[in-house]
Amino acid sequence: MTTTPRAHNLIRLLLLGAAIGGFGWWIGARWGPPQPTRVGAVPDAPQLPQATGAGELTPDEAVNVRIYEQAAPAVANIVTRTIEYDFFFNPVPVEGAGSGFLIDAQGHILTNAHVIENAEQIEVSLGERGEQGRYRARVVGRDERNDVALLKIDPGRRTLKPLPLGDSGAVRVGQRVLAIGNPFGFQSTLTTGVVSATDRTVQTGPQTFIDQAIQTDAAINRGNSGGPLLNTRGEVIGINTLIISPSGAASGIGFAIPINTARRIAQDLIRYGRPRRAYLGVEGMQLWPELAEALGLPVGEGILIERVEPDGPADRAGLRGGDRAVRAGLRRLIVGGDVLVAIDGEPVRNSFDLNLLMNRRQPGDNVTVTIYRGDRKMEVRVRLGER
């Protein structure tokens, strides 16, 4: 059978289409998108291990949770309000924030003096998210030298559960501690750590300090000031007060006022409305070796007593002030008095040392004062007075 040219062309087109179709199928099979397959043909995915012990706490975690749940309702979020003035002397309301904690069922709250500094209005909320209520607080008193303040709220018919106070004198380095406060406005935040050191003296100003401070690595940030530092029995052993940090954030060096100091101050504030301060009743100047040599004194360190308060504790004990004036450079000195070098065997090199030692005593305490009178070393018993 013969074929026409038209038939030849039709056959060629059919063969070419079949060839193109076969090549397209090969391309699709090699590089095309994956083709759907039946579910049963897919291998089973590996199963993740089931959780074990879900909801269980380690012994340390259980202690943290227990203490937090017990203590958080008694931790106060303190908001202060004051008025400042801008460049044009327009009044501008300013808020501050800090922490505190209940120490009795009558509504007394311990905090730092710097938390309420210059405050015209103080508002306190208790517990996590303030569920225990908000209160207007008044200042019972404050002790700027030790950075302690006492507030009072009226709980009405609410039953308050204060925190138990421990013994800061029994604190040991390495002991686990917990801090609760309101850093950066986040209420009832818990951090944990250990006691890094004890009996630190941290000077916060020319005449202010934290004496026998507890050092901890528990994170303390802005807003934690005034909150409690607790031991693992849930007892307060200190008031969180400051950090040492170049950046201003927690760096593992925080300090707390020992609760034994704060308890004594709180008792004075409740009973007298002021802290009771022991004092010796002397005024003088710090010696240094060159001055001592120029004055012919037998010691190069101590306080040269220039004046003794009439009928004060030192005067009644027989200590003597200066009796003549001399000039040392541009300064006028009163010389001839006793040189105070120690109290109860602890050295006194300057007025800060003297204030520190008086801070550890109570009015009415008897102390042994070591002095030099001329070349003669003497020990004198002095009954401290109240400033």
Domain spans in the chain, listed from the N-terminal domain onward: 72-152, 168-272, 278-386
Whole-number pLDDT of residue 11: 54
Q: Is the pLDDT of residue 337 over 70?
A: yes
pLDDT at site 188: 83
**What is the arithmetic mean of pLDDT over 223-246?**
90
Q: Distance between CA 217 and CA 254 in Å, rounded?
A: 6
Q: How far apart are CA 61 and CA 308, in angstroms?
A: 58
> Per-residue pLDDT tens for 300-315?
999 999 999 999 999 9
Report the C-alpha gap between 64 and 330 in whole angstroms.
Answer: 61
Query: What pTM, to 2 d.p., does this model score?
Result: 0.78
Q: What is the mean pLDDT of residues 264-272?
A: 95
- Superfamily for the 278-386 domain: PDZ domain (2.30.42.10)
CATH H superfamily, domain 168-272: Trypsin-like serine proteases (2.40.10.10)
* pLDDT at 224 exceeding the cut of 80: yes
Per-residue pLDDT for 7 more than 60? Answer: no
pLDDT of residue 89: 75
What is the reported pLDDT for 53? 58
Q: Reply yes or no on whether the pLDDT at 116 is more than 90.
A: yes
Give 83's pLDDT tier (boundaries 50, 70, 90). Answer: confident
Decide if 377 contacts 299 (C-beta within 8 A).
no
Active-site annotation, residues: 114, 147, 225
Q: Coil, strand or helix: which one is 268?
A: helix
**In 3-state terms, what secondary structure has residue 98?**
strand
Confidence of residue 184 (pLDDT cuts 50, 70, 90): confident
> In the predicted model, what is the mean pLDDT of residues 159-179?
95
pLDDT of 205 over the 90 cut: no
Residues with Cβ within 8 Å of 63's Cβ and at least 6 positions away in sequence, in order, are 232
Arithmetic mean of pLDDT, 315-335: 89
CATH number of 72-152: 2.40.10.10
Per-residue model confidence (pLDDT) at position 143: 94
For the ranges 90-104, 122-136, 145-159, 338-352, which has the lowest average pLDDT?
A: 122-136
Most confident of the ranges 4-18, 49-63, 247-261, 357-371: 357-371
Q: Which helix (H) or strand (E) holds 317?
A: helix 313-317
Fold match flag (72-152 vs 278-386): no
Nearest to 242 by CA among 260, 262, 223: 223
Percent of the chain with pLDDT over 70: 83
Please state, in angstroms and rounded to a whole number, the distance separating the CA atoms of residues 113 and 107. Answer: 18
What was the pLDDT predicted at 69? 93
**Greater confidence, 236 or 20?**
236
Rounded average pLDDT over 233-237: 97
Would you say 163 and 71 are in contact if contact means Cβ atoms under 8 Å apart? yes
Asked if residue 177 lies in contact with residue 229, where contact means CB atoms within 8 angstroms, the answer is: yes
Which one is predicted more confidently, 23 or 319?
A: 319
Residue 156 has pLDDT above 70, yes or no: yes
211-220, 287-296, 326-335: segment of lowest average pLDDT: 326-335
Report, as an integer, the average pLDDT of 281-285: 95
pLDDT for the residue numbered 245: 65
Confidence at residue 112, expressed as pLDDT on a 0 to 100 scale? 96
The predicted pLDDT at position 261 comes to 95
Return the pLDDT at 329: 73
- Residues of the chain with pLDDT > 90: what percent? 63
Mean pLDDT, residues 189-210: 88
Mean pLDDT of the chain: 86
**What is the reported pLDDT for 344?**
97
The predicted structure's pLDDT at residue 362: 93
